Structure 1
Amino acid sequence: MNVKQMKVFLAVAESMSFASAANQLSLSQPALSLSIKSLEESLGGKLFERTTRTIALTPEGNALVPIAKRLLNDWQNSEEEIRQRFALQKGKISIAAMPSFAASLLPKAIKNYHDSFPNIQVAIDDVLSDTVVEMVSASQVELGIAFEPYQTKGLHFFPLFEDRFIAILPNNHALNAHASLTWEALLKYDFITLQRPSSVRAMIENALKEVNIDFTVAFDAHQLATVGRMVSEGLGVAVVPALCRQQAEEQGVVCKQISGPIVSRHVGVVCKSRSSLSVAATAMLDVLRKTYR
């Protein structure tokens, strides 16, 4: 039983005429009769009682009429929905983004996207950078925004910009008088950073290890927002991605550049192959790259 057979069946059932149905569907009468015969054979019995002058629905034919109408209506609605998705008039995409990006830069791209495609729903998960990559790998989201992964594991990475880490200090800290800070100066004070596993913490540890600087942590937390709040309360100093600058300043801390070793890493979009993305996700990828290039 297929869509064409349903259309033929309903045309005959509504007109009670093979000739009228064939004319309505632009089919020859033999082709229409063959379609009805094939439908009856596939279902296992007659749908019409036919004589040389009259045609009538069998009880089974009568039962099929509302079913056929419902099936055709569902088919037409499904076709229309897919057309709307291809035309970016309907759909939904899910994005995972590290909190520092989600809270500062992502809203601008979402606004640009919404201005162009107002009927596409966008769901955002703000999670740690490593979790972003995991969610994309597991197909929980189509797009992720994170620091460039050390291992792509079959994923693609589209860089947006390079983020250089900055120091954040309490607003009454002794180091605030300096325009730029050294790591040696920073590490004389209690240091606050993210808990392991964290790509931010790993980048800091690796950069300091390369230049043989000892790294002692006084406090660690799960979120950069918590790290910023702890600094603002005077518990110590921290080094965070420059993405956090606006949020940190809103918490009342002072932001400073750090002289070598410089810790930096590309921020970009993580996804599976572009060809595997939905039309809506492909459009979002283009908007993200255009917004932050």
Structure 2
Amino acid sequence: MDLNLREIRAFVTVADAGNFTRAAAQLHLSQPALTVQIRRLEENVGARLFDRNSRSVALTQTGRELLPLLRRSLDDMERVLRDARALGEGVSGTVRLACLPTFAASVLPDLIRTFREHVPRAGFQIRDAVASTVVELVRNEEADIGVTGGDVIDASLEVLHSGSDRLVVVCPKTHPLARKKRIAVVDLARSPLVLTASGTSVRTVVDTALAAAGCTLEVACEPTYMMTAVAMVRGGLGVTILPATAREVLAEPDLVARPIDDPAFVRATALVKKRGRTLPRITEAFIELFLRRA
């Protein structure tokens, strides 16, 4: 049996109207066109659905039994069509985003709030992770887009936007470095460092910058996440180097951030997608907002 939406809608409309002329007007069809649709449905079902004469139309027994079933099918199919159109138009759906914790805790909440003012039905699946994991999630299509750190060398990814984060020294207000307006690389040798673990985008920048400056410094602790690094600095275990945008820094009243007097302490950032993949319309709309804000 090959039923289509037009034939089912025609059947339900005629049944409700009790008249082919009224039903045709409601469906914006000519009466002969409506009659053809009903005849095709009857052929597919294999039974007459209406008894009709010049004055009236009445459902047959088969028609009466089919009406609730086809009405329910019509409602389901129309709901699917509405949802499909909403997805296609970008007014509903889920943005699957992998991103650095720095981005997730600073810029992202405001972006989501602004986006939902225009697309209230938007959902967000957020995977906050270190840069290498962000790249992996996008490459494996577990996320549609990613905000990652460091240079993007993966040929399977397309860079949609490039940016940068300035790195700063974070230390307690009572620390000698807090009295300086800018920190020289040699100043960092006077205190143990709490650096994010090897493999994180921030640590890669720091190691490269220190190597270029010919410095070998004391690394006291190597946590993975910035929040842990900040907690260790607060606990007096040393000073750390983090992006200036890190909200973990702004939320600490007893800590201060000082710029580093070396242009090498800058982390590249990038918005990426899987190369050759078509993104959901809602994700494209979110990217448009991201680019305007960037």
TM over 0.5: yes
> Sequence identity, in percent?
26
Report the TM-score when normalising by structure 1: 0.81
Distance in structure 1 (CA, Å) of the matches to 2:239 and 2:159? 32
Q: 1:20 to 1:170 in 2, by over 3 A?
A: closer
Shift of 1:165: 1.2
Q: 1:172 to 1:19 in 2, by over 3 A?
A: closer
Q: 1:4 to 1:250 in 2, by over 3 A?
A: closer
Aligned AA (2:292): K
Shift of 1:216: 4.7
Name the residue aligned to 2:9.
7
Unaligned runs of 5+ in 1: none
Aligned pairs for 1:84-163 within 5 A: 84-86=86-88, 89-159=91-161, 161-163=163-165
Distance in structure 2 (CA, Å) of the matches to 1:211 and 1:123? 41
Distance in structure 2 (CA, Å) of the matches to 1:198 and 1:286? 28
Deviations 1:255-285 (A, max 9, x none): 2222336221333322246982222222221
Aligned AA (1:170): P
Q: 1:47 to 1:239 in 2, by over 3 A?
A: same
Does 1:232 pair with 2:234?
Answer: yes
Does 1:267 pair with 2:257?
Answer: no
Name the residue aligned to 1:247.
248
Distance in structure 2 (CA, Å) of the matches to 1:21 and 1:224? 66
Q: 1:169 to 1:18 in 2, by over 3 A?
A: closer
Aligned AA (2:170): I
What SS does structure 2 have at the residue aligned with 1:172? coil
Aligned pairs for 1:1-293 within 5 A: 1-14=3-16, 25=27, 26-29=29-32, 31-43=33-45, 45-48=46-49, 57=59, 59-86=61-88, 89-159=91-161, 161-244=163-246, 246-251=247-252, 252-260=254-262, 262-272=264-274, 276-292=278-294
Report the TM-score when normalising by structure 2: 0.81
What SS does structure 2 have at the residue aligned with 1:196? coil
Deviations 1:206-236 (A, max 9, x none): 3333444335532111210110111122101
Q: Which moved more, 1:81-90 or 1:277-286?
A: 81-90
RMSD: 3.2
Q: Is contact 1:97–1:145 with CA below 8 Å preserved after alignment? A: yes
Aligned AA (1:183): V
Q: Is contact 1:159–1:266 with CA below 8 Å preserved after alignment? A: no
Distance in structure 1 (CA, Å) of the matches to 2:116 and 2:21? 51
Unaligned runs of 5+ in 2: none
What SS does structure 2 have at the residue aligned with 1:238? strand
Shift of 1:199: 1.9
Distance in structure 2 (CA, Å) of the matches to 1:8 and 1:171? 76
Aligned AA (1:250): A
* Residues matched between the structures, number: 289
Shift of 1:190: 1.8
Distance in structure 2 (CA, Å) of the matches to 1:264 and 1:36? 70
Distance in structure 1 (CA, Å) of the matches to 2:26 and 2:109? 53
What SS does structure 1 have at the residue aligned with 2:195? strand
Shift of 1:21: 5.3
Q: 1:17 to 1:162 in 2, by over 3 A?
A: closer
Q: Is contact 2:96–2:126 with CA below 8 Å preserved after alignment? A: yes
Shift of 1:28: 4.9
Q: 1:88 to 1:49 in 2, by over 3 A?
A: closer
Aligned AA (1:172): T
What SS does structure 1 have at the residue aligned with 2:257? strand
Distance in structure 2 (CA, Å) of the matches to 1:24 and 1:173? 79
Q: 1:38 to 1:186 in 2, by over 3 A?
A: same
Distance in structure 2 (CA, Å) of the matches to 1:286 and 1:49? 53
Q: Is contact 1:132–1:146 with CA below 8 Å preserved after alignment? A: yes
